[in-house]
Every structure is written in C-alpha cells, then in structure tokens.
C-alpha cells in the first residue's frame, strides 16, 4: 500500500550534514519543502543551508526527538548513521531507507550475503572474525584485499595482501576487527548504477556510470552512450534493480560494480543514499538523484530520469587548494567557468584538506567528444 503523500510545505529531515545532505536540502527546498538536518558539526555543509539545524550526536535522544518533531519524514545522507537511530526515528515518522537496509549496507559481510541471495555475483571472499577463520582462508583468495567489514570509505580500512604472512600482519594492522578478505580481481573498469524505489515498489534508474578512482577516491565519472559497454550496462541495471527489490528498499540506492578483464560483471558494494557518481544527474538529467531522493521520501511519483546531455564529472579534492605548496590558494574558478558547459558545485566547506571532497565540476555538451575536450581543458587549468 502507498503510504500517505507528504506534500511541499512540510518539513523533510535528514541524518547527516555532509555535501550529499546539502544537495538533498537544495532539491527539497526547490520543491517547496522545509528542511531539518541533524549533524553535530556547526559548520556542516547541509546544516549551513537548512531551515533547521539540530547540532547533536547521531544517537543523542534529545536531538533525535527534535528531528522527529520537526520532520514529516526522515532520510539519511551517509551510510554510517547508526541503524539504531534510524530504528528509533521510524517509531515516530516514516524513515527511508529503513534501518535494516542501512545496517546491511554498513557491513561488507552482510552486504555480500545479500548480493549472493539476490543472485548477483560478487568477488570470491571470506569473512575473518576469528584467528581460526584467518588460518582457514583458502589459498585461492590470495593475492587479495583485506577490508574492515564496517566503516571503510574512500579506500580507507583496506590493505592489499599477497601472502598468508601479509594477511596476518594486515589483520593486526586493522586491529583484528571483523574483516572481509576479497580476492584481488583484474579490473578493466568500474561502474555504478543508481536506482530510486518507492515504498510501493515502483523503481526507476539512472544510466550506468563509468567511474575512475585515484588513490581509492572517485576522481572522474563519465556518462554517455557507450561509456559503459551496452551489454555490461544492461547487466548492471538489472543487478541493481534485483538488489533493491531484494531489500524492499525505499529511497535512492547506488550499487558499484567491477568490470573484469574478461568482460564479466561483479558487484562491489552499495550505498543506501545518493552517490558521488550520480552528481552529474543534477546538470545532465531532467530529474536528479537528489530530486529522486526527495520524491521517494515524500511518496511522490518517480518518473524515469532522462539524460539530456552527455556528462563528465570531475571531483574537486582539497589538494587543489594546495597545488603550489603549503599555503592555501583559491583554484582558478574564473578560468574554469569560462569553459562552456561547466557547472561548478562547491560544498561550502570552510577549510580545505588534501583528500577532502570540496566540490565537483560537471561538463555537459552536445557530444561525448565535446565534454571530453572540456574536461581535459579544465583538468589542465586545475593542474
Ligand atoms: P570503499 O568503501 O573505500 O569505496 P571499495 O571496496 O569500493 O572501498 O574499494 C575501493 C577501490 O579499491 C575500488 O573502487 C577498486 O578500485 C579497488 N578494489 C577494491 N576491491 C578490489 C578487488 N577485490 N579487486 C581489485 N580492486 C579492488
Ligand atoms: Mg567503493
């Protein structure tokens, strides 16, 4: 059954005040909603632009009470929000995605079990929680990548290992927390698919996105005809939809995939929220991933997004602010904005740090060749 529709004029709440929350807030406000953000940081990017900003820890009972009072429905913008907080909020208000789906996405072992249950292949792996499990690891998983089951992001909390000795040392280095050892796979490319699913099961998706990572952090996303080969794009979309249906998911979900050297597709991980690789949708699609998040939360119709322009997104990391040495310098925005089809998004973070996501640039244009040319010129300007 369709839950009641929450119409513009109501307040939508979000757990977390990072850039994803900020872009959610912008979209919600454009559609005529009021917004409430819960984030302990007084300068959080979303808190700075929201009608209400509750400065509290994610498990603070008073803060959660305030958020529930203010909001007609609540979503999340980061996957490490405590699932208990979402469960507590769900006793008072509609919460999407639900605590259970978020709890699965927070844990690499549970996530992989879910992929397998949905019939979507993932990397050969073993769960390591005890010294016995460490000893029993099959030799064919080496060389591999040891990843903490929880709290890893942007390549943090993972170590590449080539031998049993290195594996044991890596587990020590990761403080023997529960981990997953994955076989190191020969990657030809990486892609992702974003789906939005309503509480009634209606689902739409954005096109498959080609992702390039640098140092474990997303650097570039390309989305145009053929960026991901059609056969793999079709498979990725099908797999993403199966994963969302299997979770009875409500909201926006991103599923990341590896494309292997032999052309086969393997699911990597999922994020229960909009995703960095979907930022291009703000400028290149008629409905963005953030509008889909608002609509899914409010129980509004989910039209299939149409991409009206080829797109390339470049992430802007804090390193750009230090490219001439120690002192912080402003990147050459005027030159970059002189390029046609350049859409600059800065997240309002008050200080830059190397590796910190400060913003992104999306290029749209008449053809994939044109957006490539523009992205290359921007990259040269940004040095
Ligand atoms: P994070 O949560 O930090 O994004 P991922 O599991 O997505 O962690 O790993 C980050 C990157 O490391 C991936 O995008 C991929 O480039 C590389 N990687 C991760 N696992 C494997 C693997 N099993 N084989 C080859 N490369 C991998
Ligand atoms: Mg990843």
Which residue range forms the structural domain that includes residue 44?
Answer: 11-95
Are residue 224 and residue 353 in the same domain, yes or no?
yes
Are residue 307 and residue 243 in the same domain, yes or no?
yes
The packing angle between helices 289-298 and 19-30, to 10°, is 70
Residue 79 lies in a domain: yes
| Residue among 111, 158, 180 whose CB has most ligand 1 atoms within 8 A, to mutate | 158
20-54 burial code (b ≥16 CB/10 A, e <16):
bbbbbbbbbbeeebbbbbbbeeeebbbbbbbebbb
How do 34-38 and 52-54 pair as beta strands? parallel
Are residue 57 and residue 81 in the same domain, yes or no?
yes
Residue 167 lies in a domain: yes
Are residue 177 and residue 209 in the same domain, yes or no?
no
pLDDT reported for residue 3 = 65
Distance CA(114)–CA(297), nearest Å, equals 23
153 C-beta closer than 6 A to ligand 1: yes
Q: How far is the CA of 269 from the centre of ligand 2 (A)?
A: 6
Are residue 165 and residue 191 in the same domain, yes or no?
no
Are residue 43 and residue 56 in the same domain, yes or no?
yes
Are residue 75 and residue 219 in the same domain, yes or no?
no
Nearest CA residue ID for atom 9, ligand 1: 155
Q: Is 158 annotated as a binding residue?
A: yes
Residue 89 lies in a domain: yes
Look at the block and give the residue holding tokens 């292949």: 121
Using the atom order of ligand 1, give the atom closest to the CA of residue 182: 23
Peptide bond into 143 cis (omega under 30): yes
Are residue 304 and residue 316 in the same domain, yes or no?
yes
ipTM over 0.90: yes
Residue 104 lies in a domain: no
Nearest CA residue ID for atom 2, ligand 1: 153
Q: Is 146 annotated as a binding residue?
A: no
Are residue 203 and residue 290 in the same domain, yes or no?
yes
Number of folded domains that form the chain = 3
Nearest CA residue ID for atom 22, ligand 1: 184
Nearest CA residue ID for atom 17, ligand 1: 216
What CATH number does the domain containing 152 carry?
3.30.1490.20
How do 342-346 and 357-364 pair as beta strands? antiparallel
213 C-beta closer than 6 A to ligand 1: yes
Local confidence pLDDT in tens for the 383 residues of the chain: 456 799 999 999 999 999 999 999 999 999 999 999 999 999 999 999 999 999 999 999 999 999 999 999 999 998 889 999 999 999 999 999 999 999 999 999 999 999 999 999 999 999 999 999 999 998 999 999 999 999 887 778 999 999 999 999 999 999 999 999 999 999 999 999 999 999 999 999 999 999 999 988 999 999 999 999 999 999 999 999 999 999 999 999 999 999 999 999 999 999 999 999 999 999 999 999 999 999 999 999 999 999 999 999 999 999 999 988 888 899 999 999 999 999 999 999 999 999 999 999 999 999 999 999 999 999 999 98
143 C-beta closer than 6 A to ligand 1: no
Using the atom order of ligand 1, give the atom closest to the CA of residue 155: 3
Asked if residue 53 lies in contact with residue 44, where contact means CB atoms within 8 angstroms, the answer is yes
187 C-beta closer than 6 A to ligand 1: yes
182 C-beta closer than 6 A to ligand 1: yes
pLDDT reported for residue 1 = 44
pLDDT reported for residue 324 = 83
123 C-beta closer than 6 A to ligand 1: yes
Are residue 221 and residue 285 in the same domain, yes or no?
yes
Are residue 215 and residue 346 in the same domain, yes or no?
yes
Residue 84 lies in a domain: yes
What residue spans of 219-278 are helical by DSSP H?
Answer: 230-246
Using the atom order of ligand 1, give the atom closest to the CA of residue 187: 25
| Residue among 162, 268, 357 whose CB has most ligand 1 atoms within 8 A, to mutate | 268
Are residue 87 and residue 144 in the same domain, yes or no?
no
Residue 118 lies in a domain: no
Q: How far is the CA of 308 from the centre of ligand 1 (A)?
A: 30
């Amino acid at each position: 059954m369709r839950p009641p529709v929450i119409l513009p004029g109501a307040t939508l709440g979000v757990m977390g005040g990072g850039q994803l929350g900020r872009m959610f807030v912008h979209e919600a406000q454009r559609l005529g909603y009021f917004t409430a953000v819960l984030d302990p940081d007084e300068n959080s990017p979303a808190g700075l632009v929201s009608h209400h900003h509750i400065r509290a820890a994610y498990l603070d009972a008073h803060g959660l009470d305030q958020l529930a009072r203010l909001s007609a429905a609540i979503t999340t913008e980061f996957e490490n929000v405590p699932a208990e907080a979402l469960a507590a909020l769900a006793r008072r208000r509609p919460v999407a995605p639900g605590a259970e789906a978020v709890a699965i996405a927070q844990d690499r072992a549970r996530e992989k079990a879910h992929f397998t249950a949905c019939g979507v292949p993932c990397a050969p792996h073993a769960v390591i929680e005890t010294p016995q499990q460490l000893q029993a690891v099959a030799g064919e998983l080496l060389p591999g990548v040891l990843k903490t089951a929880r709290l890893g992001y942007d390549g943090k909390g993972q170590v590449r290992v080539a031998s049993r000795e290195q594996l044991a040392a890596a587990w020590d280095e990761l403080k023997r927390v529960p981990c997953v050892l994955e076989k190191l796979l020969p990657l030809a490319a990486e892609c992702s698919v974003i789906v939005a699913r309503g509480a009634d099961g209606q689902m739409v998706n954005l096109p498959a996105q080609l992702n390039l990572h640098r140092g474990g952090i997303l650097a570039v996303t390309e989305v145009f005809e053929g960026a991901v080969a059609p056969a793999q794009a079709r498979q990725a979309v099908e797999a993403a939809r199966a994963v969302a249906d299997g979770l009875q998911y409500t909201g926006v979900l991103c599923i990341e995939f590896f494309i292997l050297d032999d052309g086969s597709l393997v699911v990597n991980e999922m994020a229960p929220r909009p995703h960095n690789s979907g930022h291009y949708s703000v400028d290149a699609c008629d409905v963005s991933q953030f509008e889909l998040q608002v609509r899914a939360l409010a129980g509004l119709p989910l039209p299939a997004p149409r991409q009206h322009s080829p797109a390339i997104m470049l992430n802007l990391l804090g390193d750009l602010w230090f490219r001439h040495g120690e002192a912080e310098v402003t990147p050459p925005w005027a030159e970059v904005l002189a390029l046609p089809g350049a859409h600059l998004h800065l997240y309002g973070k008050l200080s830059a740090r190397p590796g910190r996501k400060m913003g992104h640039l999306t290029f749209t244009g008449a053809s994939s060749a044109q957006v490539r040319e523009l992205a290359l010129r921007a990259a040269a300007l940004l040095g």
